[in-house]
Chains A and B, each alone.
Chain A
Amino acid sequence: SQQGEEDPQALSIQEGENATMNCSYKTSINNLQWYRQNSGRGLVHLILIRSNEREKHSGRLRVTLDTSKKSSSLLITASRAADTASYFCATDKGYQKVTFGIGTKLQVIP
């Protein structure tokens, strides 16, 4: 069964705008990872945030984690057409399987 659920399932924005995707999960975790997947391609690891961290930045990406609400958000600032992809959150308990959410399909319109 899926542990995480991304919200929204689909998002369409204009180039230059910010995109925010949310992920909610059900049980405690060790870390949470965000991945990007271009259509028909493999996973690209974006960022990992540990359970004792609240916010992390990587370039135009900003990830937050709220363990009390069991939720995480991924913010992509100043979006580009090349950011068009599906984005998945993956929850990791540290010793068991990593479970993926259903993903958010982001479309950035040039």
Chain B
Amino acid sequence: GAVVSQHPSWVICKSGTSVKIECRSLDFQATTMFWYRQFPKQSLMLMATSNEGSKATYEQGVEKDKFLINHASLTLSTLTVTSAHPEDSSFYICSAREKNTEAFFGQGTRLTVV
């Protein structure tokens, strides 16, 4: 199947700093990318959907100014957690799809804010 690469796989940052997570589709053009968040022992909750070249659509309750999403090319989307706080510590996973094909998931990024 198609490959979606997420980087970094884990990151520790200080409170107040910003962290950028990358999501790349390696062998297909990702017209749409999705970002999910998973709290411990819970399921994955969709944060936002981004289409290449457009602004991301955020789910209800997700702060767009805090979680900046950029999908500037057909193979790369980034999620930047701005002014991170300990409550932002979580597991973040991206997903990508090419037009009306199935979606593929990255391995995830574990963010710990200290």
A residues apposed to B, CB below 8 Å: 2, 30-31, 33, 35, 40-43, 45, 48, 88, 92, 94-95, 97-103
Q: Can you report 10 A-B residue pairs in the complex whose CB atoms are below 8 A from each other?
A: A41-B108, A42-B9, A42-B93, A42-B108, A43-B105, A45-B1, A45-B104, A48-B102, A95-B100, A102-B43
The SS class assigned to the A binding surface is loop
Task: Compute how far the CA of A99 lies from the CA of B47 in the bound complex, rounded to whole angstroms.
Answer: 11
Of B1, B42, B101, B106, the contact of A42 (CB 8 Å cutoff): B106
Residues from chain B with a CB closer than 8 A to the CB of A42 are 6, 9, 91, 93, 106-108
Shortest Cβ distance from B59 into A: residue? A97
Output the residue of B1, B6, B101 with the most chain A CB within 10 A. B101
Shortest Cβ distance from B105 into A: residue? A43
Task: Compute how far the CA of A34 lies from the CA of B67 in the bound complex, rounded to whole angstroms.
Answer: 28
The proximity string for B residues 31-54 relative to A, scoring 1 for CB distances below 8 Å and 0 otherwise, is 000101000001111100100000
Residues from chain A with a CB closer than 8 A to the CB of B34 are 97-98
Tell me the number of A-to-B contacts counted with CB atoms below 8 Å.
48
Residues from chain A with a CB closer than 8 A to the CB of B49 are 97
The proximity string for B residues 82-113 relative to A, scoring 1 for CB distances below 8 Å and 0 otherwise, is 00000000010101000111111111101000
Shortest Cβ distance from A98 into B: residue? B103
Task: Compute how far the CA of A97 lies from the CA of B102 in the bound complex, rounded to whole angstroms.
Answer: 10
Residues from chain B with a CB closer than 8 A to the CB of A35 are 105
Of B9, B46, B105, B108, the contact of A97 (CB 8 Å cutoff): B46
In the complex with contacts A42-B93, A42-B108, A43-B107, A94-B43 CB distance below 8 A: no
